[in-house]
């Protein structure tokens, strides 16, 4: 990778714009998990200590019409940072294309980039506007590195110097090392609801892992090869692909029993059923006890674990057991464990096992795309910008 890194640059007195991934769960203005903010903090503080004029930007959630929506405002994150970084001035701006400048060693938090028209479409005019906010652009949002958007990708074409932040670099090196030389047996656990995006990575994971454990909507899609699974979440167009993977690799563990409910509700009672006994009006929402036992045994023996996604609807107490037992088994395992994805981070927080996981990635989609072997757009952007720097003889 021919890219510039933040620690190679003299940033003193410069306007340094850092694209972070501060996309944390917020309920009624209260941050539910600060894992991503904490992961970004060392980069922000590094730039502050070097006396840069530090500006940070991030997306938060999925605002509908590229305009302000209170529930997606970064204001609670600004308030959080103001408390953490109490040794300097911290400002917030929602009108930042006309914002006043700040002094060296101070921090400016920009409002959600997804309120800006053109952000998602990687609009050139918006990308150029971002580039004018800074002397140096730092891409540190590993969690958004798979997005070709104005604040993660487009800006790179217009800004003189774009570089990788320490978090982005660290995450990529960590994943590279795990994939290059894993201790065996290596197992992968893939759960969650985003069936279509996760199916792409299953092929690669099945190829490189000794065992692949599927949960959530992915497991349901495998079950749907042989059973009618009622109104469970699954993706019919992936059944054929699931069958091919199952028969080709023979290392995918499919649930042998499931917890089902009739209503998708947090008060719904759960019943354990064999897959062949699921009724039309029932929905699989978690593993059954036999499946949990079988998988916990596999986890115990693993030397490397890659984990993405809850295996059930862990938000509902009666459908939490599978995710909880698996999370706790991963925590107990003394091998190397790597976990990634927004909901995986919430699970880790819920069961307080943060310190027991060897490495927690801030990325979900980026984590999966990297494992899949795809070149992340953020890396492409940094490489292209580096070539521009050479052409323009910036150093």
Annotated binding site for ATP: 198, 315, 341-344
Which residues are designated catalytic?
A: 36, 194, 342, 365
Report, in Å, the least distance between residue 323 CB and ligand AMP.
Answer: 8
271 binds ligand AMP (CB under 6 A): no
25 binds ligand AMP (CB under 6 A): no
Which residues contact residue 352 at a Cβ distance below 8 angstroms, ignoring those fewer than 6 apart?
Answer: none
Of 143 and 310, nearer to ligand AMP (C-beta) is 310
Instruction: Name the DSSP letter for residue 356.
Output: G
Residue 228 CB: number of other CB atoms within 10 A?
12
378 binds ligand AMP (CB under 6 A): no
Q: Could you tell me the two tokens for 42? A: 């060392």
Which long-range CB contacts under 8 A does 25-30 form with residues at least 24 apart?
25/342, 25/346, 26/60, 26/71, 26/76, 26/77, 29/76, 30/76
Of 119 and 286, nearer to ligand AMP (C-beta) is 286
- Angle (deg, nearest 10), helices 239-249 and 216-223: 80
Given 105, 154, 156, 309, the residue binding ligand AMP (CB under 6 A): 309
Report, in Å, the least distance between residue 358 CB and ligand AMP.
Answer: 20
Report, in Å, the least distance between residue 193 CB and ligand AMP.
Answer: 3
Given 194, 246, 273, 320, the residue binding ligand AMP (CB under 6 A): 194
Sheet bearing 53-57, strands edge to edge = 90-93, 107-110, 53-57, 15-19, 136-139, 161-164
63 binds ligand AMP (CB under 6 A): no
284 binds ligand AMP (CB under 6 A): yes
Binding-site annotation, residues: 21-23, 36, 59-62, 114, 147, 198, 315, 341-344
224 binds ligand AMP (CB under 6 A): no
Runs of H (alpha helix) within 111-183? 124-132, 155-158, 166-180
Alpha carbon distance 147, 84 (integer Å): 29
Q: Near ligand AMP by CB under 6 A, which window of 110-118, 125-133, 291-299, 313-321? A: 313-321
340 binds ligand AMP (CB under 6 A): no
Residue 393 CB: number of other CB atoms within 10 A?
6
Which residues contact residue 348 at a Cβ distance below 8 angstroms, ignoring those fewer than 6 apart?
Answer: 35, 327, 339, 354, 357, 360
Report, in Å, the least distance between residue 176 CB and ligand AMP.
Answer: 23
- Checking phi first, is residue 61 left (phi over 0); if not, alpha (psi -120 to 50) or beta? left
Nearest to 348 by CA among 365, 371, 366, 364: 364
Q: Near ligand AMP by CB under 6 A, which window of 111-119, 156-164, 187-195, 287-295? A: 187-195
Given 216, 255, 261, 335, the residue binding ligand AMP (CB under 6 A): 216
22 binds ligand AMP (CB under 6 A): no
Of 73 and 308, nearer to ligand AMP (C-beta) is 308
Q: Near ligand AMP by CB under 6 A, which window of 140-148, 152-160, 192-200, 325-333? A: 192-200
Of 156 and 365, nearer to ligand AMP (C-beta) is 365
Q: Near ligand AMP by CB under 6 A, which window of 88-96, 191-199, 243-251, 381-389? A: 191-199
Match 């899949």 to its residue by tokens: 372
The residue sitting closest to ligand AMP, measured at its beta carbon, is: 192
Alpha carbon distance 189, 202 (integer Å): 10
Given 25, 288, 341, 363, the residue binding ligand AMP (CB under 6 A): 341
Report, in Å, the least distance between residue 82 CB and ligand AMP.
Answer: 30
288 binds ligand AMP (CB under 6 A): no
HSE value, Cβ hemisphere, 13 Å, CA-based, for 311: 31
Report, in Å, the least distance between residue 351 CB and ligand AMP.
Answer: 15
Match 């757009």 to its residue by tokens: 377
Alpha carbon distance 2, 379 (integer Å): 9
Residue 336 CB: number of other CB atoms within 10 A?
18
Query: Could you list the residues that contact ligand AMP (CB under 6 A)?
Result: 191-194, 216-217, 220, 233, 284-285, 309-310, 312-315, 341, 343
């Amino acid at each position: 990778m021919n890219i510039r890194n933040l620690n190679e640059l003299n940033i003193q007195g410069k306007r340094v714009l850092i694209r972070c991934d501060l996309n944390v769960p917020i309920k009624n203005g209260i941050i539910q998990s600060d894992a991503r903010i904490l992961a970004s903090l060392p980069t922000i503080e590094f730039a502050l200590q070097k006396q840069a004029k530090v500006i940070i930007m991030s997306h938060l959630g999925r605002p509908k019409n590229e305009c302000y929506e209170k529930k997606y405002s970064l204001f609670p994150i600004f308030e959080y940072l103001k408390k953490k970084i109490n040794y300097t001035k911290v400002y917030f701006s929602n009108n930042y294309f006309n914002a006043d400048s700040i002094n060296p060693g101070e921090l400016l938090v920009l409002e959600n980039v997804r309120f800006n028209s053109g952000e998602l479409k990687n609009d050139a005019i918006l990308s150029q506007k971002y580039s004018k906010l800074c002397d140096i652009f730092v891409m540190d949002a590993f969690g958004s590195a798979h997005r070709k958007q104005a604040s993660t990708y487009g800006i790179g074409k217009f800004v003189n110097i774009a570089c990788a932040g320490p978090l982005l670099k660290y995450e990529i090196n960590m994943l590279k090392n795990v994939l290059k030389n894993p201790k065996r047996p290596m197992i992968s656990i893939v759960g969650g609801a985003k069936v279509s995006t996760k199916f792409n990575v299953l092929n690669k994971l099945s190829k490189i892992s000794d065992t692949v454990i599927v949960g959530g909507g992915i497991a349901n899609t495998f079950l749907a090869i042989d059973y009618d699974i009622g109104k469970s979440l699954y993706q019919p167009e992936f059944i054929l692909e699931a069958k091919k993977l199952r028969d080709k690799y023979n290392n995918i563990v499919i649930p042998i029993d499931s917890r089902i409910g009739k209503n998708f509700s947090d008060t719904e009672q759960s019943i354990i059923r064999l897959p062949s006994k699921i009724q039309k009006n029932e929905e699989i929402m978690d593993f059954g006890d036999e499946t949990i036992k079988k998988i916990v045994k596999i986890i115990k023996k693993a030397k490397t674990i890659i984990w993405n996604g809850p295996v059930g609807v862990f938000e509902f107490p009666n459908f939490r057991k599978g995710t909880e037992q698996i999370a706790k088994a991963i925590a107990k395992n003394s091998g190397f464990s790597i976990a990634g994805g927004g909901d995986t981070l919430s699970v880790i927080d819920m069961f307080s096992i943060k310190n027991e996981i060897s490495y927690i990635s801030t990325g979900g989609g980026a984590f999966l795309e990297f494992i899949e072997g795809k070149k992340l757009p953020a890396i492409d952007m940094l490489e292209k910008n580096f070539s521009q720097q050479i052409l323009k003889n910036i150093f």
